[in-house]
A and B are shown apart, each in its own frame.
Chain A
Amino acid sequence: MEFSELLNIGLMQGFAGLSLFAVLLLMGLGLAIIFGQMGVINMAHGEFMTIGAYTIYLGSHLSSHYAPSLVSIYFPFAIVLAFLFAFALGWLVEWGLIRHLYKRPLDTLLATWGISLAMQQSFRTFIGPKEVSPTLPDWLLGSWAPKEGLDIPINGLFVLALTAVVTCGVLLALNRSRWGLRVRATVSNRVMANAIGIDTRKTDRLTFAIGCGIAGMAGAAFTTIGSTGPTSGQLYIVDSFLVVTFGGAASLLGTVVSAFGIAQTQSITEFFLHGSMAKVLTLSLIVLILMIRPQGLFASKVRR
């Protein structure tokens, strides 16, 4: 009796960690594509996530005000929209800014920090400084109780499923599609890829935009665990950078594993410690491990 209660608590805490895992993984995937494959640091990644979250809020707001019958089905459409908005903006940012800075990665970092400041202030000015949360459709609320004393929230399950689909999609696209082939060719040898007729500039732009689009979908997942404000994205940026570096920058599998590890460590330590100390402990642990093993968990064997 005593043990099964403890097990249930452990399971539920672990599941709470899974929601965080989903957000971190989606953020990390976007970053891993941009950072791992292109070597570009995107400090505005968190703000692309916020855009996605605001898109969900917009969907919920519009549907509840103008088309109440659609409230129950807006969510999937809003996720697609979130991807598209973030994708389009990412495309613009790459075109206007990033493509001029490929040879200066540290400057990209500063320039995208500028972008993130501008986006935060835009959210504050045009949407409002208050935190908002969308009204989730009924079928996302509530929980699934496989047995007595064990409640698993449905939105968490949904987010997990979404994450699984996106992750598989990205892995497939990168390893099986034409785009993935071009990306991998560009990453391993840019000059040669150019010489055999791959438009590396277009590849870069598409890659960056897709990474940002995935961040937008991370925003959709984020709305199920927290409310959205102008600075929501900034809270996740360090975590997601750590996810990518911890996993090994060029390895998507590493990203999955490290997102899981970080989210679970944080969630489980949170149960025993104060929230802030749990964060300190998790982050310090990662930084320590990275100091000992800077190449991350799954280092690519390619010499860069």
Chain B
Amino acid sequence: MKAIQELIKRYQLASLLVLTLLLAVVLPLSLDIFRLNLIGKYLTYAFVAVGLVMVWGYGGVLSLGQGVFFGLGGYAMAMFLKLEASDPVTTAIQSTPGIPDFMDWNQITALPAFWLPFKSLPLTLIAVIAVPTLLAWIISFAMFKRRVGGVYFAIITQAVALIVTVLIIGQQGYTGGVNGMTDLKTLLGWDTRTNSAKYILYYLCVALLVGSIVLCRWIQTSKAGTLLLAMRDKEDRVRFSGYDVADFRIFTFCLAAALSGIGGALFSLQVGFMSPSFVGIVPSVEMVIFAAVGGRMSLVGAVYGTLLVNAGKTYFSESFPDLWLFLMAALFIGVTMAFPMGLAGLWESHVVPWWSKRKNKGKGGDAEPAGTDAAPPAAVAATAKPARQASADSALTKGLSDVGAQSAIPGSI
């Protein structure tokens, strides 16, 4: 019994369970398929946000180019779907049948070589993960091995985002230009536009997202996670202890890139198109605010943050388009100034103490299991309700994150 409790506490399974219930049961039952598809689209961004929690919250390295990895994964998937959509029969009116329509419009007469691997689904699925990871490895290897971090890394990743966007828009014949790749309808002959397909894709997205959160949580609780936190707060000390700081950072950055790539691929599948507007600087910075709103230290919080910000964006940009950017600006400023730990931080600093106070007053402490004589109140109440456990166990994390917020510059004093 105690071992199970330990397990639940350690991996924050309770909050994950609540999230899974919300995504897999509550939302599908309460929303129509159009809205659910929209939620599915938001969830693809949540992959990026989860990756950012690892890189930024735990690793202390802010990347402003996550949209690039999202885009690479998305484009890899979109290229496969586009090739399937432009078989010689449906594209018979083109001057060169069998190639994507935008190539035909740009007077390209044969399929470029780098498109060929995307004729096969297994190769595409490999590319969805491998291409973003490879780019991330190149960038992070060059930077972290030379001990570049902090704002310099942010600037370089931002420049990469600009380069990739300009490249995609400029090479219209090979990439579809500003419009991107549109009309992606089928996957191996399976129509992804039907309602049942949308449900299946949604659940695929939820399952993969929960899976990645578990993976990230496992890394966080392992020795590598502890080292990441240590590096963020006292980089030199970790280095003097004999660890290679760069390797851990490279690994985390590549992990985040791979997750973003998966998110991008799911985006192309669910939404049916991919365009450079999800690659550039603006979307990349927006993805950072998803993680920041949810709480940069909380994997589950990142998902909530993504859902909230995107729901707000959809609502406000439909009803009050002028107001939305002001709200977004207020979000950026407010989160960094007032709630650096985001929603998860608010939960831990306000809801948890309030609840535990209430609990102790009401029950007078008789709910204590045997053997917890010296446990602090927060830990005692942890047995009462699942949501409580999730946050009580992160008292340590919270302590660490408070330190982290103050010493975000390694070696500042």
A residues whose Cβ falls under 8 Å from a Cβ of B: 35, 39, 41, 97, 100-101, 103-111, 113-115, 117-118, 120-121, 124-125, 234, 238, 241-242, 245, 274, 276-277, 279-280, 283-284, 286-287, 290-292, 294
Contacts and interface: CB of A to CB of B under 8 A. Distances in A.
Contact of A294 (B148, B167, B292, B409): B148
Contact of B412 (A41, A103, A280): A103
B14 interface: no
Contacts of B139: 291
B227 to A, nearest CB: 20
Given A109-B154, A294-B146, A121 B159 contact: no
A287 B170 contact: no
A110 B292 contact: yes
Interface in B135-158: 139, 142-143, 146, 148, 150-152, 154-156, 158
8 contacts: A100-B337, A103-B409, A106-B56, A109-B151, A114-B329, A117-B332, A283-B162, A287-B163
Given A121-B325, A245-B155, A111 B332 contact: yes
B322 interface: yes
Interface stretch (B251-259, B281-289, B359-367): B281-289
Contacts of A118: 325-326, 329-330, 333
A291 B160 contact: no
Contacts of B322: 121, 124-125
A239 to B, nearest CB: 9
Given A41-B151, A114-B329, A276-B169, A97 B337 contact: yes
B340 A280 contact: no
A286 B159 contact: yes
Contacts of B281: 234, 238
A288 to B, nearest CB: 9
A238 to B, nearest CB: 5
Contacts of A287: 156, 159-160, 163
Given A41-B154, A276-B169, A287-B163, A117 B337 contact: no
A121 B326 contact: yes
B336 interface: yes
A111 B408 contact: no
Q: Chain B contact residues: over half helix, strand or loop, or mixed?
A: helix
Contacts of B56: 106
A245 B142 CA distance: 16
Interface residues of B, number: 47
Q: Which 4 A-B pairs have the closest CB atoms?
A: A114-B332, A276-B170, A118-B329, A291-B142
Given A105-B150, A110-B335, 9 more contacts: A109-B154, A110-B292, A234-B281, A238-B158, A241-B158, A280-B163, A283-B159, A287-B163, A291-B146
B142 A292 contact: yes
A294 B147 CA distance: 9
A284 B285 CA distance: 20
Contacts of A103: 406-409, 412
Nearest to B405: A104
B408 A114 contact: no
Contacts of A294: 143, 146, 148, 152
A286 B162 CA distance: 13
B337 A105 contact: no
Nearest to A284: B163
A181 to B, nearest CB: 23
A41 B62 CA distance: 13
Interface string B388-413: 00000000000000000111110010
Given A41-B154, A114-B333, A121-B322, A104 B166 contact: no
B163 A274 contact: no
Interface string B95-120: 00000000000000000000000000
A233 B281 CA distance: 13
A110 B409 contact: no
B332 A241 contact: no
Contact of B154 (A97, A106, A292): A106
Contact of A109 (B62, B167, B331): B62
A146 B371 CA distance: 94
A280 B166 contact: yes
